[in-house]
Amino acid sequence: MTSQSAGPELASTHWTDPECPVARAVDLVGDRWSLLIVRDAMDGVRAFTDFQRSLGVARNILSDRLRRLVAHGILAREIAPSGKRQEYVLTEVGHDLFTAVLALRQWGERHAFAPGEAHSVLLDDTAAVVPELRPTGHGGQDLSDHNTRVRKVERRHRSAG
């Protein structure tokens, strides 16, 4: 994450693995409903009833996930142009999840469908299929779990005294 904060509740959040960015991201948006809410928000869904209709999720679960996404700065509540209801819109932090959602989409296209099975397709503004996301290193080489490593945070022990 850059200098942007994902919300005021981060300091009080119980982290599964406090020093791991993957674990923290999963703690924030890793459950099924949260990611699907973010996906739908990226597709332009804004109203509670539209999220519920799209997802088929129980109202109490949807309310909880929307509340958490707002608390963590991923969504913001705004008054609809009609002035009669609230809408949920992605914040910059929420829009920053696009690459993660794209990576999951493309993984799903490769591994969650039988060959030839129909599925939705993500298109760019020219109506071309979005190309496969591939991380590359400084020298342009493809990166994977085979040629990268994690530098762990060194834990410092406090001395008694």
- pLDDT for 160 equals 60
* pTM score, whole prediction: 0.85
pLDDT-above-90 percentage for the chain: 81
Judge whether residue 18 has pLDDT over 60: yes
In tens, the pLDDT along 56-85 reads: 999 999 999 999 999 999 999 999 988 989
Residue 41 — very low, low, confident or very high, per pLDDT cuts 50/70/90? Answer: very high
Tell whether domain 10-96 is in CATH 3.30.70.270: no
Q: What is the mean pLDDT of residues 140-153?
A: 94
**Sequence ranges of the domains in the chain:** 10-96
Residue 158 — very low, low, confident or very high, per pLDDT cuts 50/70/90? Answer: low
Judge whether residue 1 has pLDDT over 50: no
For the ranges 3-7, 119-123, 146-150, the lowest mean pLDDT is seen at 3-7
SS (H, E, C) the chain: CCCCCCCCCHHHCCCCCCCCHHHHHHHHHCCHHHHHHHHHHHCCCCCHHHHHHHHCCCHHHHHHHHHHHHHCCCEEEEECCCCCCEEEEECHHHHCCHHHHHHHHHHHHHHCCCCCCCCCCCECCCCCECCCCCCECCCCCECCCCCCCCCCCCCCCCCCC
Selected residue with higher pLDDT from 65 and 1: 65
Judge whether residue 161 has pLDDT over 80: no
